[in-house]
Amino acid sequence: MRTSGGLQSVEANSAAWEGGRGALIGAAKWGAGAAILGAAGYAISPIYRGLTIQFKVFLQMSGMILGSCLEADHRIRQYEAKVRMEKRMVRDRAAWEQYEQEYGEVPPPKKSSRGRE
C-alpha cells in the first residue's frame, strides 16, 4: 500500500520516531526555560504569585508544548533533508556507474613528442 507524500512505511516510521524524539527534547528544553521563568516570576512579581496554580500549570505546559512543536518540526525537516541527500547520492552514484559502463575507464593522456622530454 502506498502512503501519501511518496514515503514508504519504513521512511515514515523513521520520520515519526525522529519527530517524537524532537518533541521530547523540545518539551524538556522549553519546559526547563518555562520553569526558570516561573521561578523568577514567583520571586519577583506579586502578580505572578497571586495567580492560581491551575493557571501557572497552564503557563508551564504552554511553554513545553510550544517547544515540543518547534523542535519536532525542526527534526522532521532535518530528517527530510538527510533522506533527500541520501537518495540524491544513490541516484548520482547509479548515473556515474552507468557512465563508466558506457564509456569505460578514460585512459591517461599520452605524452606528446613535442616539447621537453
Residue-range domain boundaries for the chain: 9-101
Q: Residue 75 has what pLDDT?
A: 96
Q: Vertex 21, ends 32 and 37: CA angle to 5°?
A: 10
- The pLDDT tens digits of the residues spanning 30-76 come to 999 999 999 999 999 999 999 999 999 999 999 999 999 999 999 99
More confident position, 21 or 106: 21
Q: Please state, in angstroms and rounded to a whole number, the distance separating the CA atoms of residues 65 and 61.
A: 6
Give CA–CA dist 66/60, Å, rounded. 10
* Residue with more model confidence, 41 or 8: 41
Contacts of 79 (CB under 8 A, 6+ apart): 14, 15, 18, 19
**Has residue 2 got a pLDDT over 90?**
no
Give the pLDDT band (50/70/90) at residue 90.
very high
Residue 114 has pLDDT above 70, yes or no: no
Nearest alpha-carbon partner for 31 in 74, 68, 76, 75: 68
User: pLDDT confidence of 9, banded at 50, 70, 90?
Assistant: confident
Q: pTM for the complete prediction?
A: 0.69
Residue 99 pLDDT class (50, 70, 90 cuts):
confident
What is the mean pLDDT of the segment spanning 82-101?
Answer: 90
Cβ atoms within 10 Å, residue 76? 16
